[in-house]
Amino acid sequence: MFFRLFLLFTVVPLVELALLLYLSDLTDWRFTLGLVVVSGVIGTWLARSEGFRTYRRIQQELQAGRLPGAAMVDAAMIFAAGALLVTPGILTDLFGLTLLIPPCRAFYRQRLISWFQAHFTVQSFPPGAGDRFGSGPEVIDSHVVPRDPEP
């Protein structure tokens, strides 16, 4: 895991820098700088609008009494998209943009859910299972007793 993170935090910025330098070589440094700034501004605006839409969806699902599982995953991906779009670079901007497009986000959501299901186990106990582990939930009342001062 450490090696993957090391690669992520070293190789990706180097590739981004090489792409930006190559683009500035092909065009002009002002165009490249403008592209980075414009993609950051537009990405922030898109992430904000998608975030508000997802927030409303979460509220609607909670009001209907449902758990907003898919909407919460979408919210996390939109947050990551905003961070990627603000980060200067071409690859991070493209990946961040795909995280903001709902069909692409649905594809990523399915991949994330299958990855979580493969790597994590959720155990729940059926109703009445507390009988096997004792008499069920108990409330224990307590209070703090100060020490007697030592003579």
Q: Exposed, middle or buried by CB within 10 Å (0-12, 13-18, 19+), for 82?
A: buried
Asked if residue 93 lies in contact with residue 32, where contact means CB atoms within 8 angstroms, the answer is no
- The sign one gets for the Cα dihedral 16, 103, 115, 125 is positive
pLDDT at 43: 85
Q: What is the pLDDT along the chain (151 residues), one digit of tens a residue?
A: 788 888 888 998 899 999 999 999 999 989 999 988 898 888 889 889 999 999 999 999 999 988 888 899 999 999 999 999 888 888 999 999 999 999 999 999 999 988 888 888 776 666 655 555 555 555 566 666 667 766 6
The pTM score is 0.71
Domain ranges of the chain: 35-118
Q: How far is CA 90 from CA 15, 18, 118, 120, 138, in A?
A: 9, 10, 32, 33, 56
